[in-house]
């Protein structure tokens, strides 16, 4: 079975790339997979972990399945025997009439696939593998997300979380983890956190990030705060899922898909109060495990 995957996200660049990599690795277990990048259709991205036979993209080559992964409009035409659109969140301006199947990553995005595109869809939830809870340090908070700023986009609002951290009072510690996308915003965060017990960790290895999550009592996530349009909110987010598996009490903004399985908050004051209450009255982390399996894709591609 031959599969062509078009992926617009770099692996390691964030949750989008992480999810696309999971899908590619799952399919490579039982398919012959070509993985390409939409921005340069003639170049195959080399990723030895995928065990994929890489080569040059040939539009004359016949495929059983074509997977277009991402939320941007593809320059490639779906020409396989069966064509599948894999979307993080549906773009209302895109046409998906040439696709035979729609797959998305959360009930939240699934609802908008139906609203925007009038299509039914399957859910393939991202997951983090091998993570387990660690011994927690009291009054510790972890924040994970790419570090950049957009007035109306998918930025993670770390500056607002610093505001909420200030309101907790003395004795608290925060670790902010993320790839630096915008240097000026990153510098402003460091300056804003001056004098506070806040540590910044830029582009650290996964094992170091995992160690911080394992010892952190809380995880805060603010993507979607202050946004209006549904596509600007967090439609899932792999970071909250990782935090939950590491045993963190995970608080996300009340928007997007992460609120389907995490404790959610609406205002910074509510986030502060939730955290202080849980610190005074410790709670258990009850998490229903997500797991994307090879069997899911075998069922889709049968």
Residue 163: inside a domain, yes or no?
A: yes
Tell me: do 172 and 116 sit in the same domain.
no
The pLDDT confidence band at residue 288, using thresholds 50, 70 and 90, is low
Can you tell me whether residue 245 is helix, strand or coil? helix
Asked if 254 and 186 sit in the same domain, the reply is yes
Residue 27 shares a structural domain with residue 152: no
In a domain, 204, yes or no: yes
Domain that holds residue 193: 137-280
Over the range 61-92, which residues count as b (16 or more CB within 10 Å of their CB) and which as e?
Answer: eebebbbbbbbeebeeebebebbbbbbbbbbe
CATH number at residue 105: 3.40.50.2000
- Asked if residue 172 belongs to a domain, the reply is yes
43-55: burial string, b at 16+ Cβ within 10 Å, e else: ebbeeeebebeee
Based on the domain organization, do 96 and 147 belong to the same domain?
Answer: no
Check whether residue 16 and residue 121 sit in a common domain.
yes
Residues 164 and 195 in one domain: yes
Closest CA to 3 of 81, 55, 59: 81
Residues 45 and 151 in one domain: no
Query: CA-based diameter of the chain, in Å?
Result: 65
Closest CA to 156 of 174, 173, 179: 179
- The pLDDT tens digits of the residues spanning 206-252 come to 899 999 999 999 999 999 898 888 888 877 778 998 999 999 999 99
* Domain total in the chain: 2
Q: pTM for the complete prediction?
A: 0.85
109, 197: one domain = no
Read off the pLDDT band of 79 (50, 70, 90). confident
Tell whether 285 is covered by a domain: no
Whether residues 155 and 249 share a domain: the answer is yes
Q: How far is CA 214 from the centre of its chain?
A: 19
| Residue 97 counted as domain residue | yes
In a domain, 132, yes or no: no
Flag whether 51 is in a domain: yes
160 within domain boundaries: yes
Q: For 140-195, how does the pLDDT look when each residue is reduced to its tens digit (9 = 90+)?
A: 999 999 898 887 677 899 999 999 999 999 999 999 999 998 999 999 999 999 99
- What gap in Å lies between CA 8 and CA 38, rounded to an integer? 6
Identify whether residues 201 and 242 lie together within a single domain. yes
Q: Are residues 150 and 274 in the same domain?
A: yes
Neighbouring-strand partners of residue 174: 141, 198
CB burial class (10 A; 0-12, 13-18, 19+) of residue 122?
middle
Q: Does 24 share its domain with 115?
A: yes
Confidence of residue 253 (pLDDT cuts 50, 70, 90): very high
């Amino acid at each position: 079975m031959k599969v062509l995957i078009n992926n617009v996200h770099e692996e390691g660049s964030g949750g989008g790339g992480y999810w696309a990599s999971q899908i590619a690795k799952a399919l490579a277990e039982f398919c012959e997979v070509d993985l390409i990048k939409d921005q340069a259709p003639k170049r195959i991205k080399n990723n030895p972990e995928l065990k994929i036979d890489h080569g040059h993209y040939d539009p004359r080559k016949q495929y059983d399945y074509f997977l277009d992964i991402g939320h941007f409009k593809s320059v490639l035409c779906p020409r396989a025997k069966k064509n599948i659109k894999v979307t993080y969140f549906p773009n209302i301006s895109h046409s998906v009439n040439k696709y035979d199947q729609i797959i998305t990553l959360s009930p939240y995005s699934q609802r908008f696939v139906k609203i925007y595109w009038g299509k039914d869809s399957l859910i393939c939830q991202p997951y983090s593998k091998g993570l387990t809870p660690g011994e927690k340090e009291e009054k510790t908070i972890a924040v994970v997300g790419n570090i950049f700023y957009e007035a109306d986009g998918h930025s993670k609002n770390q500056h607002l979380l610093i505001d909420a951290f200030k309101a907790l009072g003395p004795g608290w510690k925060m670790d902010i983890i993320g790839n630096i996308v915008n240097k000026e915003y990153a510098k402003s965060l460091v300056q804003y956190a001056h004098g506070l017990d806040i540590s910044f960790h830029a582009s650290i290895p996964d094992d170091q990030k995992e160690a911080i999550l394992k010892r952190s009592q809380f995880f805060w996530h603010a993507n979607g705060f202050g946004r209006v349009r549904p596509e600007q909110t967090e439609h899932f987010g792999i970071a909250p899922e990782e935090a939950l598996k590491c045993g963190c009490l995970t608080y996300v903004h009340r928007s997007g898909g992460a609120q389907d399985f995490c404790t959610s908050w609406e205002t910074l004051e509510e986030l502060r109060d939730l955290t202080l209450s849980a610190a005074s009255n410790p709670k258990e982390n009850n998490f229903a495990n997500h797991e994307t399996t090879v069997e899911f894709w075998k069922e889709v591609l049968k």
